[in-house]
């Protein structure tokens, strides 16, 4: 494990079967400049839902594949539809963090090839959904929270309207889910007003996936 995350490692908590929360595992001071560099070439944008509405959360990607939504649906693409260029490469510290966090959560050998970057302004949210556009659900999802806190919820029984558990995710917290939780419904409740010393009025989230 590199000092990028070992230095800030905190507690380990099971959120539900197959989902582990690693408190304070990621170092936002190291990660945020990498996000800014990615956004210089692949800007944050509010993608359109298949139904034609703009999503409230602004998104971009890095890695060999990037997740997109538009009138044709949800999918991964190798190029950014905004620029026509390949998505910026997955920074080595992102990939290393994903592999180490997955191993710490019990998913050894994870190698991410895609990273969706979400930017939440105050008042935005992400409704309940499954991450299911990846080709092989044997691989876990690694989610990194940076900046303002957020209430993350997950269903306990894989039904959209099922019972949920909520946890507050703070700057540096990493959640890993796979196995029995891989297709759990999850989302983010409305971000409360606040100011974070590193991100101001925003929360950033990286979800690292094996998409292809
Ligand atoms: O922001 C989060 O913590 C979750 C993000 C998420 O579920 C997603 O991007 O699919
Ligand atoms: Mn998700």
Instruction: List, for residues 150-190, the tens digit of each pLDDT value.
Output: 999 999 987 888 899 999 999 999 999 999 999 999 999 99
User: If you measure from the C-alpha of residue 144 to the centroid of ligand 1, how many angstroms do you get, rounded to a whole number?
Assistant: 9
Determine which residue's CA is closest to atom 7 belonging to ligand 1: 187
CA 75 remoteness from chain centre? 16
Question: At 104, is the secondary structure helix, strand, or coil?
Answer: helix
Residue from 207, 208, 209, 211 whose mutation best tests the ligand 1 pocket (most atoms within 8 A of CB): 207
| Residue 12, H or E segment | strand 12-16
The whole-number pLDDT of residue 200 equals 98
Q: How far is the CA of 185 from the centre of ligand 2 (A)?
A: 8
Supply the pLDDT for residue 108. Answer: 98
Distance CA 19, CA 23 (A): 13
pLDDT at residue 172, as a whole number: 98
* Rounded distance between C-alpha atoms, residue 89 and residue 97, angstroms: 15
Among the bound ligands, the one closest to the CA of 153: 1
User: DSSP readout, 15-47?
Assistant: EETTEEEETT-S-HHHHHHHHHHHHHHS--B-P
Please give the Cα distance from 115 to 67 (Å, whole number). Answer: 8
Alpha carbon distance 158, 54 (integer Å): 26
pLDDT for 6:
42
Instruction: Quote the pLDDT of residue 160.
Output: 82
Q: Which atom of ligand 1 is nearest to the CA of 186?
A: 7
Domain spans of the chain, in order of start: 3-209
The residue ranges of the chain whose pLDDT is under 70 are 1-10
Predicted local distance difference test score (pLDDT) of residue 161: 83
Task: Find the length of the chain.
Answer: 212
pTM attached to this predicted model: 0.95
| Predicted local confidence at residue 4, as pLDDT | 45
| pLDDT confidence of residue 158 | 77
Q: CATH number of the domain at 3-209, please?
A: 2.60.120.590
| Distance from the alpha carbon of residue 10 to the mean position of ligand 2, in angstroms | 23
């Amino acid at each position: 494990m590199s000092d990028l995350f070992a230095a800030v490692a905190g507690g380990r908590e099971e959120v539900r079967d197959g989902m582990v929360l690693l408190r304070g595992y990621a170092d936002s001071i190291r990660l945020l400049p990498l996000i800014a560099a990615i956004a210089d070439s692949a800007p944050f944008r509010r993608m359109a839902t298949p139904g034609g509405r703009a999503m409230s959360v602004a998104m971009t990607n890095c890695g060999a594949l990037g997740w997109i939504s538009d009138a044709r649906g949800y999918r991964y693409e190798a190029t950014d539809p905004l620029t026509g260029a390949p998505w910026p490469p997955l920074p080595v510290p992102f990939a290393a963090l994903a592999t180490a966090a997955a191993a710490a959560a019990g998913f050894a050998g994870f190698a991410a090839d895609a990273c969706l970057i979400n930017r939440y302004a105050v008042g935005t949210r992400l409704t309940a959904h499954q991450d299911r556009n990846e080709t092989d659900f044997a691989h876990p999802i690694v989610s990194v929270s940076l900046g303002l806190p957020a209430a993350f919820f997950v269903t306990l029984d894989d039904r959209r309207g099922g019972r949920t558990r909520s946890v507050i995710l703070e700057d540096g917290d990493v959640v890993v889910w796979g196995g029995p939780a891989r297709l759990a419904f999850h989302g983010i409740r409305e971000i409360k007003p606040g100011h974070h010393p590193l991100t101001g009025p925003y929360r950033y989230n990286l979800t690292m996936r094996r998409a292809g």
